[in-house]
Amino acid sequence: MTTSFIFDMDGTLFQTNKILEVSLEDTFKYLRSIELWEKETPIDKYRKIMGVPLPIVWETLLPNHSNEIRVKANEIFHEKLIVNIKSGNGALYPNVKTIFKYIKSQNCSIFIASNGQTEYLNAIVNHYNLDKWVKETYSIQHVNSLNKADLVNEIIKKYEIKNGAVIGDRLSDINAAKENNLLAVGCRFDFAQEEELKQANLVIDNLLDLKELIIKTS
């Protein structure tokens, strides 16, 4: 019986694409203003690596810059993201709250495990009142390895989870499930890649598809 559902945040619950471009553009506008960037904002490159830990994000986007500059860029980026979240410019994916209500009605637990930073995740959870259903939200900052499989393992150990599923749109989510002997559910949403989704146990196009999974495993 599947009793615990561990959700990714970006590209799974939250439509990050709605605030991503403007926040990233503002960040690189700042870098241009201090003459540390001359090219266009690398939005397409970021889309391809969505889901990886933030240090890798900035190593990829700013390969020729110092770690100090990368840290500053990340700080600005998150400030812009949080402002946009609190301003209501983002959005949850369709049916997030509906499926959360259903999962809770079936006496199952809900967790969030994300490669995002704690303050950013809290901004989303608080703005959309997700803590009504979510037992706990975990940031990759919880583990030194920056490995999502280790993050999911922290949840499993703390809550003594025996049966469950990890729901996410990228390979890091799928691997996190498999390495912890949980069901890997891939979401065919904005940032998903078909080659990665092939490695999931199950692929869904709508979060409401999880109802069938709950019924089958109950």
pLDDT one-digit tens code per residue, 101-131? 999 999 999 999 999 999 999 999 999 999 9
Q: Which three-class secondary structure state does DSSP give residue 100?
A: helix
Closest C-alpha among 45, 80, 79 to residue 61: 45
Contacts for 110 with CB less than 8 Å, ≥ 6 apart:
4, 5, 7, 100, 103, 104, 133, 134, 135
Task: For 69-107, write each residue's pLDDT tens digit.
Answer: 999 999 999 999 999 999 999 999 999 999 999 999 999
Could you give the CA distance from residue 67 to residue 100 in angstroms, rounded to a whole number?
Answer: 39
pLDDT value for 141: 92
In the numeric block, which tokens belong to residue 26?
């503002």
Q: Which of 53-57, 175-179, 209-213 has the lowest mean pLDDT?
A: 53-57
- 195 residue type, one letter: E
